[in-house]
Amino acid sequence: MKLMIAGALVLITLSTAAMAEGDAKAGKKVFNKCKACHTVKEGKNKVGPTLFRIVGARAAQVDGFKYSDALLDAELTWNVETLKAFLTKPKELVPGNKMSFAGLKKEQQIDDLIAYLVAESEE
Ligand code: HEC
């Protein structure tokens, strides 16, 4: 299991590097837009589920969080591509989900934010 996770992270890291590389430091600031509803701490849910180790995780797997049926049924794994799609237009990737967030418009912000989430997921 550990090996699989390590493998997945390597792949994620590689694909992040291949894309117009995001800056995790800048991404931490972009995460301020998410902080009203999310933390990156283990077990700490707010209005939204914790995003602790979200990259590489299956969607809707956080214990003790009441997800919408839409996200529960989505059968998604969060990687650079799915996160990018979700954060651009949450309602388009998962219609009917209950995250009240319109989406980020600037590609650089999204790349930076995902770099931050990847870095957090590697710790
Ligand atoms: C107004 C509150 C709110 C804001 C702001 C918000 N979210 Fe969410 N988020 C939610 C809720 C609620 C869910 C659960 C959705 C569901 O169950 O349909 C969620 C779900 C998610 C998920 C899926 C988690 C999982 O366990 O599958 C990700 C990833 C996510 N949000 C990332 C972000 C990021 C990154 C930002 C900032 C750009 C953000 N969200 C901003 C409320 C919010």
Tens-digit pLDDT profile for residues 27-42 = 999 999 999 999 999 9
**CA dist., res. 24 & res. 3, Å (int):** 24
Ligand 1 centre from 59 Cα, in Å? 11
% of the chain with per-residue pLDDT over 70: 83
Quickly count: other Cβ atoms within 10 Å of residue 18's Cβ.
Answer: 9
* pLDDT at position 3: 64
DSSP type of residue 37: T
Higher pLDDT pick, 28 / 6:
28
Higher pLDDT pick, 98 / 5:
98
Ligand 1 centre from 4 Cα, in Å? 25
**CA dist., res. 49 & res. 64, Å (int):** 9
Q: Is there an atom of ligand 1 within 6 Å of 53 CB? A: no
CATH number of 2-122: 1.10.760.10
- Ligand 1 atom 33 nearest Cα: 34
What does the block give as tokens for 89? 């237009």
**CA dist., res. 59 & res. 72, Å (int):** 7
Which residue in this structure is represented by tokens 């651009």? Answer: 88
pTM for this predicted structure: 0.87
| Range 76-87 average pLDDT | 97
Q: Is the pLDDT of residue 4 over 50?
A: yes
**CA dist., res. 26 & res. 98, Å (int):** 27
* pLDDT at position 83: 97
**CA dist., res. 79 & res. 56, Å (int):** 5
% of the chain with per-residue pLDDT over 90: 80
Q: Where are the domains of the chain?
A: 2-122
